[in-house]
Structure 1
């Protein structure tokens, strides 16, 4: 009982190994008989080519995706480094801002003290110019 028969010549075999060898040597396609299933069949080469094409296509797609992923990962790393640089610059500017605020607060305090002192000296000057103040000043110089 023959399980495989060549579709191009008279080759027949019950053994799958012999059938595969015949197909490889001649390029012929063997057909399975009596429910054995095709050892290539009429569309065996087409199936093999389709499977190979799908494999190449899948490999290419995986390669493209890996390349794009690597590019996106590099871009992400670059943006992360840029973000860290901007973060450092922000911290430096924050420190300068705090220093300027502290300096401004000190200047406001000095201005308030200076204004208070000026008002005190003005009051004293006004008193000394007054009759009472002038009299008291002159009495202090009497010997």
Structure 2
């Protein structure tokens, strides 16, 4: 009968499923012992090394992805700030355009009045001495 023993803590079991569940929950590596050597024969230690290497690779990959995500998040916040600034500037330009258009309409109306007979007459009378 094979007994499974955790290499990181004192956990032991005779059931493979329980040992696998312990490994998944804790991240520890359980090895099988049947009185002669580790389960899996000559390749038992190689499996442990490969498993540990895969864990290191996974942790490194997660770290790199977290670092990259943080950088992208900072870039997003910077672009959002620039976007808000541009929207504010555009709104200001729209207001200035509306004011200029209204002033232009007023000047056009005044110019039309001065060109009319009534406006021209009043203008000429204001210059009489």
TM over 0.5: yes
Identify the residue that residue 68 of structure 1 maps to in structure 2. 54
Distance in 2 (alpha carbons) for counterparts of 1:56 and 1:76: 32
Q: Does 1:95 align with 2:95?
A: no
Identify the residue that residue 128 of structure 1 maps to in structure 2. 114
Query: For structure 2, which runs of at least 5 residues remain unmatched after alignment?
Result: 1-33
Q: Does 1:112 align with 2:102?
A: no
The offset of 1:101, in angstroms, is 0.7
SS for the counterpart of 1:111 is: helix
Distance in 2 (alpha carbons) for counterparts of 1:53 and 1:140: 116
Q: Residues 1-143 of structure 1: matches in 2 within 5 Å? A: 51-54=36-39, 57-143=43-129
Distance in 2 (alpha carbons) for counterparts of 1:142 and 1:56: 121
Distance in 2 (alpha carbons) for counterparts of 1:53 and 1:69: 20
Larger CA deviation: 120-129 vs 65-74: 65-74
The offset of 1:65, in angstroms, is 1.3
Distance in 2 (alpha carbons) for counterparts of 1:125 and 1:114: 16
Distance in 2 (alpha carbons) for counterparts of 1:62 and 1:132: 104
The offset of 1:59, in angstroms, is 3.6
